[in-house]
């Protein structure tokens, strides 16, 4: 049986994992993003660790034919999924297999399969939890007296994605605090004296900031008063100009997030943080 290519503007994407499925979701979405005119309908099946669980998955796969990606440690479960996909003529791939083979060719020896091994409760896991706790407690200008304990401090006017970027960094083990720049509200007195953290300014185009703020007000069913400058373009431009001057005066890097995703902004910050750490070590 040969499965024909989908003619619709969507396709079914089956993600079968014996762990959380996060790896598959990230891989599937990264690949799907290369096809702008075709949208995936995701079917995620986490914690598939028995034949009985797999059979329920196979019923769904047969009812909604599409691409099947999987990460399964158990050979029998993996073999059953493969054979059924072949019977149905469906494309299927163990996304970790090519990577594991590459590691094996370089490192030698046989790998030791572990279900959900990347989620082990090891030191790096607890580092991420610690970073997440720190970041939540230091969100939106809270607890500014101990910013020296942060790894990264983000500064920016309202709606420059400070909080989601901080949370993303925390999931990478980075203790991130963020400080809003608000007109006529003084900055924490210690902000320009910080030595350990990397301080990064976030800006965007005035048009983008105004658009996001207007959408936020609509979402909150809020009405802006005549005296408010929250969505006034000239006022927003001045807020952003102040941000730029502040960062330039202190030699802090500035990132324009207008056309960047949270992931792209965080990747840029992580690169800057690596350079910052190397310089700090060299100076000690």
Domain that holds residue 196: 123-283
User: Is residue 88 situated within a structural domain?
Assistant: yes
Whether residue 40 is found in the same domain as residue 136:
no
Q: What's residue 119's pLDDT?
A: 53
Whether residue 159 is found in the same domain as residue 81:
no
Whether residue 50 is found in the same domain as residue 130:
no
Annotated binding residues for ADP, as ranges?
Answer: 156-163
Annotated binding residues, as ranges?
Answer: 156-163
SS3 per residue for 193-224: HCCCCEEEEEECCHHHHHHHHHHHHHHCCCCC
Q: What's residue 81's pLDDT?
A: 98
Per-position b or e across 100-119, b if 16+ CB within 10 A of its CB:
eeeeeeeeeeeeeeeebeee
Q: What's residue 60's pLDDT?
A: 97
Q: Which two tokens stand for residue 210?
A: 């105004």
Strand partners, 66: 12
Whether residue 183 is found in the same domain as residue 235:
yes
Q: Which residues contact 267 (CB under 8 A, 6 or more apart)?
A: none
Final residue of a domain: which of 117, 149, 164? 117
Domain total in the chain: 2
CB distance 163 to 204 below 8 Å: no
Q: What's residue 156's pLDDT?
A: 98
* 3-state secondary structure at position 163: helix
C-alpha 139/C-alpha 134 separation (Å) is 9
Whether residue 227 is found in the same domain as residue 200:
yes
- Residues of the chain falling short of pLDDT 70: 1-8, 113-122, 223-227
Supply the mean pLDDT for the chain: 91
C-alpha 87/C-alpha 281 separation (Å) is 58
Q: What's residue 281's pLDDT?
A: 87
Whether residue 254 is found in the same domain as residue 159:
yes
End-to-end CA distance of the chain: 66
Q: What's residue 277's pLDDT?
A: 93
Whether residue 246 is found in the same domain as residue 105:
no
Final residue of a domain: which of 89, 117, 145? 117
């Amino acid at each position: 049986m040969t499965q024909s290519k989908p003619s619709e503007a969507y396709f079914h994407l089956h993600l079968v994992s014996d762990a959380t499925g996060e790896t598959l979701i990230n891989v599937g979405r990264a690949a799907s993003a290369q096809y702008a005119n075709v949208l995936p309908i995701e079917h995620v099946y986490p914690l598939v660790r028995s034949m009985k669980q797999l059979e329920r998955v196979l019923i769904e796969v047969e009812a909604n034919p599409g691409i099947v990606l999987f990460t399964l440690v158990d050979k029998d479960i993996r073999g059953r999924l493969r054979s059924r996909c072949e019977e149905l003529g469906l494309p299927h791939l163990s996304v970790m297999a090519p990577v594991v083979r590459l590691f094996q060719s370089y490192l030698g020896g046989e790998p030791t399969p572990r279900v959900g091994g990347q989620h082990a409760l090891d030191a790096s896991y607890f580092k991420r939890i610690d970073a997440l706790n720190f970041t939540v407690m230091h969100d939106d200008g809270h607890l500014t007296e101990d910013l020296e304990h942060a790894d990264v401090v983000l500064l920016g006017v309202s709606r420059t994605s400070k909080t989601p970027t901080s949370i993303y960094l925390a999931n990478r083990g980075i203790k991130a605090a963020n400080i809003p720049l608000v007109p006529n509200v003084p900055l924490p007195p210690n902000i320009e004296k910080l030595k350990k953290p990397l301080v990064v300014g976030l800006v965007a185009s005035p048009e983008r900031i105004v658009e996001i703020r207007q959408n936020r007000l609509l979402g909150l069913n809020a009405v802006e008063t005549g005296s408010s400058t929250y969505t006034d373009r000239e006022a927003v431009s001045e807020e952003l100009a102040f941000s730029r001057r502040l960062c330039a005066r202190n030699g802090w890097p500035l990132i324009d997030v207008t056309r960047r995703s949270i992931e792209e902004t965080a990747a840029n910050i992580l690169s800057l943080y690596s350079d910052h750490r190397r310089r700090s070590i060299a100076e000690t």
